[in-house]
Amino acid sequence: MFILPVRPLPETATYAYVSPGLHDGAFTSDECRRILAMAGPFEAATVQGGVVTETFRRADVSGIALTDESAWIFERIAVAAMNLNRQFWGFDLTGIVNPTLQLVRYRPGHHHVWHRDGCDGSFSTRKLSITVQLCGSDAFEGGELQFYEREQPTRIPKDQLKEGTIIVFPSYLLHCVTPVTSGVRHALVVWIEGPPYR
């Protein structure tokens, strides 16, 4: 397990909505390209139980394992998540769930329907879900990360989905990725866990 370091959040961090938080400029364009270059072969994305269900989730995934070469990525994500958590949610956190980051590629027609990342069973200790935008919003159409808040879908405006932005939100929040209509969207996905809610 990767232990969360504690450092102050840069002043460039902004708050997007009541639930999700943004850390703009967490990774530079060069760093995003380095992250993409670390990806292994892509495979069809699966859902709980390792099943490919394209009506629920259609995307390509690869992994970036925790190594000496990739540790800086884990640390950067952990610092941003820890500071946003302290600022907005105050969850008890223990560390990143899996020592492999999930690199997701959404091509035209790819999507992820409304779902929650952490609610019950083996996912009940997921506290924060994190997405790192690895490409600029001009690289694709569609592919919006939406949240269901106040009885209606809301989205992060495309001009805020800049390359290198970290998006953090509680894992129980209902969210989706709308179908990509053109181009390719790359994102890094990771979860941070903590003790069960009391």
pLDDT 10s digits, 23-82: 999 999 999 999 999 999 999 998 876 778 888 999 999 999 999 999 999 999 999 999
Residue 190 is predicted with a pLDDT of 96
**104-129 b/e with 16+ CB inside 10 Å = b?**
bbbbeebbbeeebbbeeeebebbbbb
pTM for this entry:
0.86
Label residues 12-40 b or e (16+ Cβ within 10 Å = b). Answer: ebeebeebbbbbbebbeeebbeebbebbe
User: Mean of the pLDDT values across residues 16-24?
Assistant: 74
Candidates 2.60.120.620, 2.30.110.10, 2.60.40.2550, 2.60.40.10; correct CATH number of 14-47+57-135+147-177?
A: 2.60.120.620
Token pair 């139980």: residue: 49
Domain residue ranges of the chain, discontinuous segments joined by +? 14-47+57-135+147-177
Burial of 59 (0-12, 13-18, 19+ CB in 10 A): buried
Q: Judge whether residue 11 has pLDDT over 60.
A: no
Q: pLDDT per residue over 98-118, tens digit each? A: 899 999 999 999 999 999 997
165-177 confidence digits (pLDDT tens) = 999 999 999 999 9
